[in-house]
Structure 1
Amino acid sequence: MKFKDKHQFVRENMKKNRSRVFMTILATAMGCAFLMVLASVGFGLQETIIKDVTQNGVVTEVEVSGKSNGENPETSAGMTQTDVEYFEGMENVNTVVRRKQLNNWESFYTLGDYSSHAETRVVDYPSEKKAGFSLSEGRMPESPDEVVVGYHLKETFGKEVDGQYQEYQDELIGKEITLSIPQFFDEKKETKEFTLTIVGIADEPANKNNYQNFVNIQEEKMQEIEDFTGTAYGTLIDPSMPEEAKEELKNQESTYSYLGVYATDMEHVQAILDKAREDGYYAYSPLEQLKEINLLFAVLKVGLLFVGTIAVIIASIGIFNTMSMAVTERTQDIGIMKAIGGSPKMIKSLFLMESAYIGVIGALIGTVASYLISYGVNLALPLVIKMMFNEEMGTKVMLSYIPWSLTAICVGISLVVAILSGLKPAAKATRIDVLKALRRDI
């Protein structure tokens, strides 16, 4: 019997009992949809968290926060240009971003009548650009008096007007801001002002929760600040401090507080990370976090697939019942096929084909329903959160995500379960006695 004839035979028999077959397909579709939607929660949450991690930290970056002090391993030594050159000399390193930070809690910026306590960072623009730093508007600085500011800096400038706080509304590009740095000299407080021109604004961060209110200055400007304060990072000396502590601050070396070592590609991150730790550096990479996340969600997804498969197995009871009834109803047909030379293998294949068709059609319907449910859930989630908590979601959460791999797994599980459900009825069909079948005794 050719495949075309088998297909026609199965199709005609399914049409004869369309109501029962339809209900069986519906049960299979519901089981497959439940399996797919349940597992999609694991895939969706993993996708959301990984996206959040990669937005906050580039996966090719190794963040170095300090170096172990040989004399006292519990303390961290600052990083200097020597450390920068060490990492730049490593194989497969694209660039090394280095930063310092102004450490004067009484410093502030003014823009006309507006003021702000923004973060002041010392950066190296060539390495920042090589690492992917870009601007939403303006240009990169060309002199020490020019600065690039964070995307949200404008929101931090404000003033009191008739007892109410008013934010700065005008454009920032081309505006001059004044950085006021205080310091105590012989218990007398003096303040020096540094005038800076805003020439660029950083790109909006991909993560909406990442609030960027920094001002990036260059090493030359930081040197001017340190020359005035007499301390590293422009640190403010508290007059009440003991003299020994004051001297320690004055003698402190101005080192980098952060190094970002960027690998040429993700494959070389682990080697750079291992080498840095081996040489005593305190290093971290988002890639480590991604590995932990992937391991955790691998376990979660397997668990969800296992639970969802139970629903498909329950649906398989309907397939088993439908195929058992089909064998009973077609006893005479089976007897005729055996009488004219039909082999048990051929008869068995007919019933397995029918159960497979039920599984495939149910899986396809369940897949379409799953994608619709997934889309609806992701669309409705922000609305539900707003209705229940009266708050906007700061981060876009993908509660349900169905990749092609999940679709293939769920359809495969549904198909296998459907075929297994038809095995026993198909085997029963091969054992029917020809004479009894023709006499309709079964």
Structure 2
Amino acid sequence: MRWNDLFRMSISSLSRRKLRTFLTVLGVVIGTSSIVVMVSLGLGMQRSMYSEVEKNGGASGITVTGKGQEEMPGDGAKKESRTKYITDEVVKQLAQLEHVKSAEPVLSLPAVVLKGSYEGMIEIQGMTPAGLASMNLKMEKGGKLPDPDSRELQLVFGNYVLAGFTEKGTGRGYWETGVMPDIDLGKDPLFLVLDQDGYARSGQPADMGTEKQGGDGAGNAGISSAPAQAPKKYAVPVSGVVAGGEKNQNANSENVFCDLGVLKEYLRREFRGRAIPGQPTTKSGRPYGKFVYSSAKIQADDMKNVERISDEIRGMGYNVTTNKEYIDSMKKQFEMVQAVLGGIGAVSLLVAAIGIANTMMMSVYERTKEIGVMKVIGCSLSSIRRMFLIEAAFIGLAGGITGNILSLLISGIINIFVSGGGMELGGSISFIPVWLLFLSTGFAVLTGTAAGYFPARRAMGLSPLEAIRNG
């Protein structure tokens, strides 16, 4: 029997039992869409993770931090303790390592920002112009990176920094009211307090935590009732705001960036003669002779060289974390998540396969006379088998295609919901690549064909005379 005849007879058989065919196809639709949507959630989260990593140097990015109290061999059996700091000299050494594309210092420190009745505790990250440029920050319209030649400290605000601001009197902010503070970062100048501890003590009596050295020569602390002196407030403009608005969060949404050189000048003026917060001091409490950075961001020339560079830096005595290690760790977790989600969806398709087998078996019993006639007129057993397998495969194909269309619709709805819900995935929690559509359709056809195999074998085993007599 020719293939076109088999197709025609198969379609005709399915069309005669429209309701049963529809319900069977519906089962495949639900099963296919369940698998695709479940897997797409894992793929979407993985894609979002890769996107965030790219904003922080990509897979070839390396972060180097200092290491405290490293034991160094001394004379004889003695050992010395030495802290490994990230200084300008160290950054230069790191930049000169083989396969290192760039090395940029990062200085992080807490500060206070004031505007009207609002105050906010922020974390400033001072970076070089090259370091800021490498982050590829997407700004709101009109925003730009800080000008390194400017004498004033310019800030780049993350799009979610204002959510941490609170009213001075009530302590209420975005998380209590659901409303962002009425501050226009593009127009309103802010006041920055670099001495966070001094700000916390200002207005407090000294006996609430500020001790003053007494004059009895014994080193005893005397008590003073005078309030601590308020630290200086610097008027600072906002040069840009990270794109995203109030709804979409990303790795830089809660960060505040500025030019490293200008920040260092401000810190030197503010803490002249005193130790800068976060900076090490000598045993006598004096400021350390060199400026110490929080970390250094290194860019390898190729992802293949990340491990080699990391081992070399660890050998120098510093702590190293790499985006590649993070990606590998997260990839394993996402693979487990995808396997679990795909397995949940596969259960639905398994139920659909049972439905296909049941439908095809019922079709065999209802068409025993037709099968008997086909055998009597000389139709081969293989043709009868192919006819039933074609019917089962067509059910799988129709269900797979329809299920994929439904999956795209559900995925779009999920992403719209996530985008409007302010979740930290950039509005793309579900991602359906083209290969997943083809793979799911092929899997649905294979499942349908497999489910129709035993009914087809049953049809082949019918006796022609018994089929005609009992049909």
TM-score (normalised: structure 1): 0.75
State the match for 1:260 in structure 2: 297
Q: Is the aligned partner of 1:279 residue 2:316?
A: yes
Match in the other structure for 2:459 = 429
SS of the residue corresponding to residue 37 of structure 2 reads: helix
Distance 1:271 1:172, change over 3 A: farther
- Partner SS state of residue 100, structure 1: strand
Tell me if structure 2 keeps the 8 A contact 1:36–1:367: yes
- Does residue 36 (structure 1) correspond to residue 36 (structure 2)? The answer is yes
AA at the equivalent of 2:93: Y
Secondary structure in 2 matching 1:211: coil
Work out whether residues 151 and 203 of structure 1, in 8 Å CA contact, stay in contact via their aligned partners in 2. yes
Is 1:62–1:284's contact at 8 Å kept on the other side of the alignment?
yes
Alignment gaps of 5+ in structure 1? 238-243, 386-391
SS at match of 2:153: strand
- 1:423/1:405 CA distance change after superposition, 3 Å: same
Structure 2 counterpart of 1:60: 60
Aligned counterpart, 1:369: 406
SS in 2 for 1:250: coil
Distance 2:263 2:38 in 1: 57
Query: Which of 135, 141, 147 does residue 141 from structure 1 map onto?
Result: 147
Structure 2 gap segments, 5+ residues each: 73-78, 174-180, 199-209, 215-227
Q: CA deviation at 1:296?
A: 1.4
CA distance in 2, matches of 1:37, 1:402: 8
Structure 1 CA distance for aligned equivalents of residues 115 and 39 of structure 2: 53
- Contact kept in structure 1, 2:146 and 2:154, CA below 8 Å: yes
In the alignment, what sits opposite 1:291? Answer: 328
Partner Cα distance (2:418, 2:238) in 1: 40
Moved more, 422-431 or 399-408: 399-408
8 A Cα contact 1:146 1:217, kept in partner: no
Matches of 2:263 and 2:307, distance apart in 1: 34
Q: Which moved more, 1:332-341 or 1:194-203?
A: 194-203
Task: Report the Cα offset of residue 121 of structure 1.
Answer: 5.1
% identity of equivalent residues = 23
Alpha-carbon distance in structure 1 between the residues aligned to 2:144 and 2:341: 49
> Is it true that 1:212 corresponds to 2:255 in the alignment?
yes
Q: Name the aligned partner's letter for residue 5 of structure 1.
A: D
> Is the alpha carbon distance of 1:334 and 1:13 closer, same or farther for their aligned partners in structure 2, counting shifts above 3 Å?
same
Q: Which residue of 2 aligns with 1:240?
A: none
Q: Rate the CA distance shift 1:138–1:172 in 2: closer, same or farther, 3 A.
A: farther
User: Helix, strand or coil for the counterpart of 1:254?
Assistant: coil
- How far residue 399 of structure 1 moved from its aligned partner, in angstroms, is 5.2
Q: 1:345 Cα deviation (Å)?
A: 1.7
The residue type paired with residue 420 of structure 1 is: A
Q: How does 1:121-136 map to 2 (within 5 A)?
A: 122-130=126-134, 132=136
Does the Cα contact within 8 Å between 2:156 and 2:238 map onto a contact in 1? no
Deviations 1:120-151 (A, max 9, x none): 55433244335546765356535362433122
Q: TM-score, normalised on structure 2?
A: 0.71
CA contact (8 A) 2:146 2:156 kept: no
CA distance in 2, matches of 1:219, 1:35: 54
Distance 1:86 1:340, change over 3 A: farther
Distance 1:252 1:67, change over 3 A: same
Spell out the pairing of 1:141-160 with structure 2 (5 A cutoff).
Answer: 141=147, 143=149, 145-151=151-157
Q: 1:300 aligns with which of 318, 327, 337?
A: 337
Q: Could you say what the CA RMSD is over the residues aligned between the two structures, in angstroms?
A: 4.6
Q: Deviations over 1:160-199 (max 9, x none)?
A: 89xx9996658569x79787878x9x97999997988759
Q: Which amino acid aligns with 1:207?
A: Q
- Are the equivalent residues in 1 in contact too, given 2:372–2:465 (CA < 8 A)? yes
Quote the Cα distance in structure 2 between the aligned partners of 1:62 and 1:109.
31
Quote the residue 1:2 is aligned against: 2
- Give distance in 1, aligned partners of 2:393 and 2:134: 56
